[in-house]
Structure 1
Amino acid sequence: MAHILHTPSLAHFKLPAIDNEPMKSYAPGSVERQKLEQAIKDMRAAEAAEVPVVINGEKILSGATAQQHNPSEHKSVVCNYHEADASLIKKAIDGALEAKPRWEAMPFNDRAAIFLKAADLISTKYRYKLMAATMLGQGKNAWQAEIDAAAELCDFFRFGAKYAEEMYQQQPPKNAPGVWNRSEYRALEGFVFAVSPFNFTAIGGNLAGAPALMGNVVLWKPSPGAVYSNYIVYQILEEAGLPAGVIQFVPGPAEDICDVVLGHPEFASLHFTGSTHVFRKLWKQIGNNIENYKSYPRIVGETGGKNYHMLHPSLDADGVRQAALQTVRGAFEFQGQKCSACSRAYVPASLFPDFKKHIVAETNKIKQGPVQDFENFLGPVINKFAFDKIKGYIDYAATNDDCEIVAGGKYDDSEGYFIKPTVIVTKDKDTKTLKEEIFGPVVTIYVYEDADFEATCKLISDSTQYALTGALFARDREAIVAGSNLLRNTAGNFYINDKCTGAIVGQQPFGGARGSGTNDKAGSWSLLVRFVSARSVKENFVEIDGFEYPSNQI
């Protein structure tokens, strides 16, 4: 093994001031709109990108290829990507473990500098390319792409460095005479496996980036629906100075990759965002291999949701309208393809006529179409599988006597995977569109009697396995206090008089419990804690005269 060079740390450095990335508006005629439109035009005119497997900095064309399609125009290919097989995954693991000692030994300020530079590259040089790839590849409109691929990804990298700096500063408050106590936050032994979803480019960057920032090496398996944007993020990190082998970029068949990764004795952690079903399957697979691992793996996951808006009878007319507007945005932004999207609403009978009037009218105003046409609020769902699944729930409601579709209910996949934003009203509190995750532009309303507020809060808590996000709309402060307490365990992110989506790094750490994940709060220090293994160090400066205690003296 080559000699490991330990670079001396000659000073403690303070990071630059960290703040949220300023959002651009993309208003008509604005410079940023012109630049984004040009980036989209150039990307659509170019041939489909070719994305390699990247191991130890080497771009590998495996020959086993798959395609990522544009969901707005599903005949259009965004990229052709090469897939890793079992032998390449083994090579990636070996290479990552070889890179680990040098990376872990690199001073924190140098590791942080890579991610801070990557954030600046995203916010400037690559902003519009990364957004265009997110829009065309993942079906986001300009605003949603700005929130995700630009602002949130910058925030993850910058605030990650800030929280890591604060963590390293946490040291024992007491030292006995002649003793110096200190805490060391080591990277995990082995490697981290990051499995990222299609719906947020930023989540892909954070799933791989957060463990790497803390000195870990990572195998990053991107979603087939987000390969191109995720590869651009990888290239940005590379340009920012990330050493070869620290993050291995390995698209490919999920089961084949997982079998090799989870069977390896150096597997140290799973960092996952995706479906509850898949997460539980991987957890079981890890459990079945537990005797084979060097350490107990850290399992960190953010999974499904069945998120709610709860309206209290104390709302006035303006409050009802606001709740309806927030529900439209929370349910239908990015076609409901957010784990936090509002999927069910509970409305008191006295407010329902007004609420229904507003939500139907506003939903019917929504423009839908290809993402390159900026006036469209809604784009496509991600692929044929998602289209068919969501269509099935709409068809179920259309034929169920207890359900009424009051807006939307139509769909068309002739050119892109377009599903009209759909509002269902049900008389059955157990209807499956109120209980099962749909992950599409469908919201179901249940009308409850005004006197049954507390019982309906209990219904919200008991009717699904999920506990990710939720919102309470009320005017009366006592109702807000009561509802907040009754709904305490229904959501890891709880909103008062606001929609249940839109958590911002540095403002609302994100994550849920129950079937929604391990609630390790992406965008906070608590996530980073999961990717370090603390060592307590005690150094003694004073000799002792003997082994006996003072109490042993006669």
Structure 2
Amino acid sequence: MPKGVFKVPPIANEPVLTYAPGTSERTELKKQLEAFRAVELEIPMFIGGEEIRTGKKVSIHPPHELKHCLGHYHQGDESHVHQAIDAALRARPKWAEMSWEHRASIFLKAADLISGPYRQKINAATMLGQSKSVFQAEIDSACELADFLRFNVKYMTQIYGDQPTSSKNIWNRVEYRPLEGFVFALTPFNFTSIAGNLPSAPAMMGNVVVWKPSKTAIYSANIIMQIFREAGVPDGVINLVFASGPVVAREVFSHPEFAGFHFTGSTEVFQSIWKTIGENIHRYKSYPRIVGETGGKDFIIAHKSCDAKAVATAITRGAFEYQGQKCSAASRAYMPASRWEEIKSEVLRQLSEVKMGPPEDFSNFVNAVIDEASFDKLEAVIKEADNHPEAKIIAGGGCDKSVGYYIEPTIILTTNPQYRTMQEELFGPVLTVYVYDDLKFDETLDILDKTSIYGLTGAVFAKDRYIIEKVTKRLVNAAGNFYINDKPTGAVVGQQPFGGARGSGTNDKAGSLFNMIRWVSPRTIKENFIPPTDFKYPYMEKE
């Protein structure tokens, strides 16, 4: 058949729509929100191309409006996990053999479906199911997911194009094989884009996938799966299961064909799974690829030379957008004593204008946290701080779950840089501030670097370039994504590859070539055009 070296279409970031009053996207989204609220969806699993309904239905409710039912999903058990693994392995030979440009076409089409006809469906599903504001949904579920798919196609072509040199009479080449077996993708609730990227990135490289989404993000995961199916992902390549975590783990991590794990979630879960994989390593056909992005205790440190309003805005946005439920969210801040009152005054002024409520009201900046377990944990932490001699609540602190899981943006001021909320990931709208003596800036950098087990994101605010350089070098291991005079959230695919080390994960940088290359197993091929016919080398000749 005809062959060619193909160039993919130009790749660029998906433009973010404004949803300002009077815009067409605002009108379309409001209609879609109303349409979703008017029906109760019945969401099946998708295994081997079939819709699987078990009859064991679990209801889905918006975190911000508990009395409303969005629909039900069909919960599976170990038999469905087995079925998903078998379906994936059956699909593997044909999918692995498919020419790369056809795999690329499928996911480029998926990106166009997301940014086009499915844009408001995936935004509305994320807003309702995960309580995201319109802007947070747009930059996540529409733009970032489309970006992941398009840029990953670009990275795939770069990987395939990376070839070795050859010497005279020799042709060396490398082919990039998919992993031998199946990949397990375990995805979080907080980013719809991550839920779409974790199964699709390995699949794009020719792998087959068993995908388990967070139970609190099944409503949007259903839309993602619809998009993949419409884009042409063949049956069995990506299999969506809704069994409980422990049930899925037992079946997946004991299977000899388990070849890779793509994860975003808590550090504790990731470490537990890594341990399980290690204990079962003798079972597997090959050493599994383990790729994980986990927790964070992300920081903002301001120097006395900072712009106070810029710091305050970074705090308001970095700590409280999407209720602080971002692994990159600012949750600890180090403020210079000489500038603190100025910064605090501006933060409190901004928070006085922040509205909290359902995302269907576009004027709300803060919505609900994801579920009752999260609410209860955060409420307990806030109450503890309110009664602790080393802590003082200077903003927010209100908690109410009578209608939805609402927690006010809360700022804790502590006199102890080792206070609990300076160290532990809370995953909610809670920021802890430590005010340091201006003369102890270097000492504060040491404290910051050693306080947390994590190393995901962080930011420095300063106008003094010597200070910026010092902090950038001194905190080289404290953050895998480091920001200068900007909030520590909002990484864009193709611009800021995302990931951290220490307790924050394997730092394989989602949205980059570094992540995609983990899903292939290179094979080097050497061809000798004129092979030797005598074993003797020239040095063996007589004088």
- Sort the TM-score into its range (normalised by shorter chain): over 0.9
Q: Quick one: structure 1 residues 9 and 492, their matched pair in 2 at CA, closer, same or farther if it must change by over 3 Å?
A: farther
Task: Render the CA deviation track for 1:117-147: whole Å, top value 9, x for unaligned.
Answer: 0000011101001100000000000000000
Q: Distance in 1 between matches of 2:11 and 2:125?
A: 27
1:437-516 equivalences under 5 Å are 437-516=425-504
Q: Segments of 4+ in structure 1 off by > 4 A?
A: none
Identify the match of residue 172 of structure 2 among 170, 176, 181.
181
**Structure 2 unmatched runs, 5+:** none
Q: Distance in 2 between matches of 1:61 and 1:19?
A: 39
1:56-135 equivalences under 5 Å are 56-135=48-127
Task: Render the CA deviation track for 1:159-210: whole Å, top value 9, x for unaligned.
Answer: 00001101110000x2121111001111001000000000111001000000
Letter in 2 for 1:356: K
Q: Distance in 2 between matches of 1:460 and 1:63?
A: 51
Shift of 1:252: 1.6
Range with bigger deviation, 490-499 or 89-98: 89-98
Question: Contact 1:364 / 1:407 at 8 angstroms: preserved in 2?
Answer: no
Shift of 1:482: 0.4
Letter in 2 for 1:320: A
1:309-388 equivalences under 5 Å are 309-315=300-306, 319-388=307-376
Q: Which residue of structure 2 lines up, in the alignment, with residue 193 of structure 1? A: 184
Task: Render the CA deviation track for 1:285-324: whole Å, top value 9, x for unaligned.
Answer: 1011011111111110001100000001122xxx011111
Letter in 1 for 2:154: K
Identify the match of residue 282 of structure 1 among 269, 273, 284.
273
Q: Distance in 2 between matches of 1:103 and 1:420?
A: 48
1:162-241 equivalences under 5 Å are 162-172=154-164, 174-241=165-232
Report the 3-state secondary structure (helix = DSSP H, G, I; strand = E; otherwise coil) of the residue aligned with 2:369.
coil
Identify the match of residue 515 of structure 2 among 513, 516, 527.
527
**Structure 2 length normalisation: TM-score?**
0.99
Letter in 2 for 1:20: N
Question: Contact 1:320 / 1:351 at 8 angstroms: preserved in 2?
Answer: yes
Shift of 1:79: 2.8
Letter in 1 for 2:127: M
Task: Render the CA deviation track for 1:234-280: whole Å, top value 9, x for unaligned.
Answer: 11011011100000011120000110000000000110000111111
Report the 3-state secondary structure (helix = DSSP H, G, I; strand = E; otherwise coil) of the residue aligned with 2:511.
coil
Q: Which residue of structure 1 lines up, in the alignment, with residue 7 of structure 2? A: 14
Q: Distance in 2 between matches of 1:202 and 1:130?
A: 10
Range with bigger deviation, 355-364 or 142-151: 355-364
Shift of 1:281: 0.7
Q: Which residue of structure 2 lines up, in the alignment, with residue 3 of structure 1? A: none
Shift of 1:411: 1.1
**Structure 1 length normalisation: TM-score?**
0.97
Q: Distance in 1 between matches of 2:539 and 2:61?
A: 77
Q: Distance in 2 between matches of 1:551 and 1:82?
A: 74
Question: Contact 1:360 / 1:423 at 8 angstroms: preserved in 2?
Answer: no
Shift of 1:92: 1.1
Q: Distance in 1 between matches of 2:57 and 2:289?
A: 32
Q: Which residue of structure 2 lines up, in the alignment, with residue 302 of structure 1? A: 293
Q: Distance in 1 between matches of 2:529 and 2:180?
A: 30
Shift of 1:454: 1.2
CA RMSD of aligned residues (A): 0.9
Q: Distance in 2 between matches of 1:9 and 1:310?
A: 58
Shift of 1:9: 6.1
Q: Distance in 2 between matches of 1:83 and 1:180?
A: 53
Identity of aligned residues (%): 52
Shift of 1:75: 1.9
Question: Contact 2:114 / 2:227 at 8 angstroms: preserved in 1?
Answer: yes
Identify the match of residue 250 of structure 1 among 241, 258, 264.
241
Letter in 2 for 1:200: F
Q: Distance in 2 between matches of 1:396 and 1:361?
A: 25
Shift of 1:77: 2.2
Q: Distance in 1 between matches of 2:332 and 2:435?
A: 11
Q: Which residue of structure 2 lines up, in the alignment, with residue 4 of structure 1? A: none
Shift of 1:382: 0.4
Question: Contact 1:454 / 1:486 at 8 angstroms: preserved in 2?
Answer: no
Q: Distance in 2 between matches of 1:175 and 1:509?
A: 32
Residue 160 (1) aligns with residue 152 (2): yes
Q: Quick one: structure 1 residues 432 and 175, their matched pair in 2 at CA, closer, same or farther if it must change by over 3 Å?
A: same
Report the 3-state secondary structure (helix = DSSP H, G, I; strand = E; otherwise coil) of the residue aligned with 1:70.
coil
Q: Distance in 2 between matches of 1:78 and 1:378?
A: 21
Report the 3-state secondary structure (helix = DSSP H, G, I; strand = E; otherwise coil) of the residue aligned with 1:489.
coil
Letter in 1 for 2:196: G
Q: Distance in 1 between matches of 2:59 and 2:268?
A: 25
Task: Render the CA deviation track for 1:344-377: whole Å, top value 9, x for unaligned.
Answer: 1100111111111111111121100011000000
Give the number of equivalent residue pairs: 542
Shift of 1:545: 2.7
Question: Contact 1:141 / 1:374 at 8 angstroms: preserved in 2?
Answer: yes
Question: Contact 2:78 / 2:243 at 8 angstroms: preserved in 1?
Answer: no
Question: Contact 2:81 / 2:243 at 8 angstroms: preserved in 1?
Answer: no
Q: Which residue of structure 1 lines up, in the alignment, with residue 21 of structure 2? A: 28
Question: Contact 1:68 / 1:224 at 8 angstroms: preserved in 2?
Answer: no
Question: Contact 1:68 / 1:226 at 8 angstroms: preserved in 2?
Answer: no
Question: Contact 1:84 / 1:251 at 8 angstroms: preserved in 2?
Answer: yes
Shift of 1:155: 0.1
Q: Distance in 1 between matches of 2:60 and 2:267?
A: 23
Shift of 1:67: 2.4
Q: Which residue of structure 2 lines up, in the alignment, with residue 43 of structure 1? A: 36
Shift of 1:74: 1.1
Q: Distance in 2 between matches of 1:338 and 1:543?
A: 58
Report the 3-state secondary structure (helix = DSSP H, G, I; strand = E; otherwise coil) of the residue aligned with 2:68.
strand
Q: Distance in 2 between matches of 1:209 and 1:32?
A: 27
Shift of 1:497: 0.1
Question: Contact 1:9 / 1:107 at 8 angstroms: preserved in 2?
Answer: no
